[in-house]
Structure 1
Amino acid sequence: MAKKLIVNADDFGIHEAVNRAVCRGFESGILTSTSLMAGGRAFDEAVKLAGDMKGIGIGIHLTLVGGLETVLPPEEVPSLTWEGGRLCSNYMELIQRDLKGRIRMDDVYREWDAQILKILDTGLPVTHIDGHQHMHMWSHFFPITLTLAKKYHIPCMRVPDEKVLFGFSPTPGGLFRFAAKNGLSLMARSHRKTLKKAGIRTNDHFWGMMYGGHFYENRMISILGRVEDGVTEFMCHPSADREAMEETFHWGYEGEEELKSLTSASVRKVLEERKIQLISYRNLQES
């Protein structure tokens, strides 16, 4: 069985610096796929650039967090926009609010439906669906993700189930990140059978959660040495201007370093030595 690798850049359309990095990662590097964010401020530019990047896979990056604007007017989805008419800052806030019963599933459905339609209306061929901070896999939202994928005949979906033992760190912050990663991974893994039954194709393996925003060249080379048979996805967050991104979002991401990883000759050499075939979700749906 062959080793196949999808290299996906998340957050396409969120900022001009990300858009530039996606172009460079695709044209001069190993990037094969990207996920478009309908509510991103640089959405229109991303759509134009996507039309010029022949062969790149375009996914839909469903969004409920990140302090971003909704596609629907905020007053139409009030349970999602309780902070100045914007989405909450991160997944922990969203989950806590959901567990208290304060998120209306109808709001989630209608906002995600609007995000999908906005992207489909561009005419771009959509290859897959995934989620910002992986909220498409949260147990209460996953049925909505699945319903919408079937409604719009989206053939593939990311399953972010990184290896359980990978990324352990004894520091307090490291332990929390490790525990959160495993909780999400196990939840995502539990949805595989449902997706298969629905005829939706998925990646077999996944890397990039513990290294989110910090997928440095040496780390990418190390993980390439662990790539197994089947279809693996590398999730990346490249940008062409770290300072501009940090000034806006304060995530602490090293997007310029991730872009260096994607365009690294050393990374390319390891891919060739290990006979790892670069593909996108388009190839997966056609296989």
Structure 2
Amino acid sequence: MDLKQRRLIINADDFGLSPGVTAGILYAHQYGLVSSTTAMVNTSFSKDCLQEAKHYSYLGIGLHFVLDAGQPLSPSVPSLTDNKNNFLKGKDLVENAKGTDIKEELKRQLELLLSWGIDVTHIDSHHHMHLHIPGALEIVYEVAHDYKLPVRVFTNTTVTATVPRTDYFHFNFYGENNLTEEYLINMITNLDQGTSEIMCHPGFLDTWLTKTSSYQQMRMKEVEILVSNRIRKCLDEQNVQLVHYGGI
């Protein structure tokens, strides 16, 4: 294996979910290994959090397309919402979502992020909904192609569209069992040639997070691991280049 050919994106999901989550992501970027993040634009904290992110010029920022949390930006996407205009969740969303509504909401969220002066690097989605809703990935590809943006997909996702992607996507650095330095070191040591993404969810606790997410204490643990000198040393020893989606 030619180790020089290994590049790694460490992407922190949920930027803008709460002030604490945002602060944790920025800390893990400034003092650790987070090279990329994806932003939610439909929270009450989104705009202010993204203004803060502009101070971190080496942090890649993509869109964390939201279809199942909070409310849509679009005035009318009835197949995605309940009678209180909250996004549907789970099976209800998967079974009811229509492509026209998905496309409308995606473009609204993407255009809002761009209007805030963010040089958007790529698109992924909250809870990977663009990979679970039938037909959603094709719609995301269509929009991504128009905006010349890469899209996060699973490693084994068959891609027919000419949209950039990573070669490998690792989503198992998550949850109580896998959040150790040893687990992350093993992932990095065994990276294949090409560009890989490791997904993460660092953050600091705050009252808003405890009200909106069941994933709480583990975010703090992720921050601790992502700023570890052992992980940095492993990257250096393995000659793995840390990049973001703007570099693929």
Q: Structure 2 length as normaliser, TM-score?
A: 0.90
Q: Which residue number corresponds to residue 138 of structure 2?
A: 143
State the secondary structure of the residue aligned to 2:78: coil
For these two proteins, the number of residue pairs brought into alignment is 242
1:213/1:237 contact within 8 Å kept: no
Note the C-alpha offset of 1:81. Answer: 1.2
Taking the aligned partners of 2:214 and 2:168, their CA distance within structure 1 comes to 29
Taking the aligned partners of 1:37 and 1:53, their CA distance within structure 2 comes to 18
- Larger mean CA deviation between 230-239 and 246-255 belongs to 246-255
1:65 maps to 2:68: yes
2:72 counterpart letter in structure 1: T
Q: What RMSD in Å do the two structures reach over aligned CA positions?
A: 1.9
2:73 counterpart letter in structure 1: V
Deviations 1:124-180 (A, max 9, x none): 1111111111122234111210111122222x111223xxxxxxxxxxxxxxxxxxx
Q: Which residue number corresponds to residue 213 of structure 2?
A: 249
1:85 maps to 2:79: no
Q: Which residue number corresponds to residue 33 of structure 2?
A: 30
1:129 maps to 2:86: no
Residues 93 and 226 of structure 1: CA distance in aligned 2, closer, same or farther (over 3 Å): farther
Stretches of structure 1 lacking an aligned partner (at least 5 in a row):
162-185
Q: Which residue number corresponds to residue 206 of structure 1?
A: 169
1:39 counterpart letter in structure 2: N
1:134/1:160 contact within 8 Å kept: no
1:237/1:255 contact within 8 Å kept: yes
Deviations 1:256-287 (A, max 9, x none): 01111110111111111111111111111xxx
1:70 counterpart letter in structure 2: P
Taking the aligned partners of 1:225 and 1:232, their CA distance within structure 2 comes to 12
> Runs ≥4 in structure 1, deviation > 4 angstroms?
none
Deviations 1:29-86 (A, max 9, x none): 01100001111231012211121111111111111113x121123xx11221116321
Note the C-alpha offset of 1:248. Answer: 2.5
1:212 counterpart letter in structure 2: Y
1:58/1:125 contact within 8 Å kept: yes
Taking the aligned partners of 1:8 and 1:275, their CA distance within structure 2 comes to 19
Match of 1:239 among 195, 199, 203: 203
Deviations 1:184-203 (A, max 9, x none): xx4xx11x2x13xx2x2111
Q: Structure 1 length as normaliser, TM-score?
A: 0.78
Stretches of structure 2 lacking an aligned partner (at least 5 in a row):
none
Note the C-alpha offset of 1:242. Answer: 6.7
2:85 counterpart letter in structure 1: G
2:169 counterpart letter in structure 1: F
Residues 84 and 27 of structure 1: CA distance in aligned 2, closer, same or farther (over 3 Å): same
Deviations 1:221-261 (A, max 9, x none): 22112211110101000111177523322245610011111
